[in-house]
Amino acid sequence: MNRPFVAKLSTCSLALLFLALPLSAAEHPGYIDAPERRTTGIGKFYMGREIAFVMGHQAADWLNRPERIEEERPDEVVANMNLAADEVVADIGAGSGYFSFRIAKLVPAGKVMAVDIQPEMLALIEHQKAINKISNVEGVLGQIDDPNLAPNSITAAIMVDAYHEFSHPFEMISGIYDALRPGGRIFLLEYRGEDDSVPIRPLHKMTQEQVIKEMSVFGLEWTDTLDFLPWQHMMVFTKAQ
């Protein structure tokens, strides 16, 4: 997550720019309304964890901060996706496209579907596309409970520092699952919830155990965890053939 959620940084107040969403736990039986919300939480629980607020587009600059190269090693992340040149990859919760554009370079005969619920984020992506003349990144305006991807249309999906803030995680993974072709992979990167030394607020981290629990609802197989990142897990889930 970006600096708003780095607990140790005094600048965190700058990024308390969150998107207010009309939320209710009534939609899915796995959701529970909490009597009180924690700081940076929305007061809605899914499978035992409180969902975090969505980071507002006003804080988009933080997603492109130079320190992120050290903290999150984005080029190594995309290299470890082992993509074929013709893959169609959905970057869900793409933000400003920090990962979308890196992935696009690796799929010259394929494309990246950059999905976000904030039109302002998609506008930033369009701006970058125009400046750098990139034609294989496609912005997709998602909904809080639907990635708006056609069934069977993607070979892989990636979510970086985003899943924990989906207000409707069940519906989102359901939509991603349907969009994924058989044998397709989901790359899920979250800050390590098991590791107190990772200086990120608790609701913006996830444990592997929690992620596996939530993905197993869909029969997604946990096929790998790459632990080369300083603060995050890079978890891989695979849809059966």
The residue ranges that bind ligand SAM (CB under 6 A) are: 1-2, 54-55, 63, 92-95, 98-99, 115-118, 121, 142, 144, 160-162, 165-166, 172
Among 232, 211, 206, 231, smallest CA distance to 221 is for 211
Nearer to ligand SAM by C-beta: 88 or 188?
A: 188
Whole-number Å distance between alpha carbons of 164 and 54: 9
192/234 Cα distance (integer angstroms): 10
Return the SS3 of 2.
coil
- Residue with nearest beta carbon to ligand SAM: 95
Of 240, 216, 226, 190, nearest to 82 (Cα)?
Answer: 226
Judged by beta carbon, residue 94 or residue 154, the one nearer ligand SAM is 94
Q: Please state the closest distance from residue 241 (CB atom) to ligand SAM, in A.
A: 27
Least distance (Å) between residue 54 CB and ligand SAM:
5
Considering the complex, what minimum distance in angstroms separates the CB of residue 109 from ligand SAM? 24
Reported for 120-125, long-range contacts at CB under 8 A and 24+ positions apart, including other chains, are 120/57, 120/60, 121/57, 121/60, 121/94, 121/95, 121/96, 121/97, 124/57, 124/60, 124/96, 124/97, 125/94, 125/96, 125/97, 125/100
Residue with smaller CB distance to ligand SAM, 6 or 121: 121
Give strand pairing partners of 111. Answer: 88
Nearer to ligand SAM, 117 or 236 (CB): 117
Q: How far is the CB of 187 from ligand SAM (least distance, A)?
A: 11
Say if CB 206 and CB 194 are below 8 A apart.
no
Nearer to ligand SAM by Cβ, of 123 and 240: the residue is 123
- Tell me the closest approach of the beta carbon of residue 6 to ligand SAM, in angstroms: 12
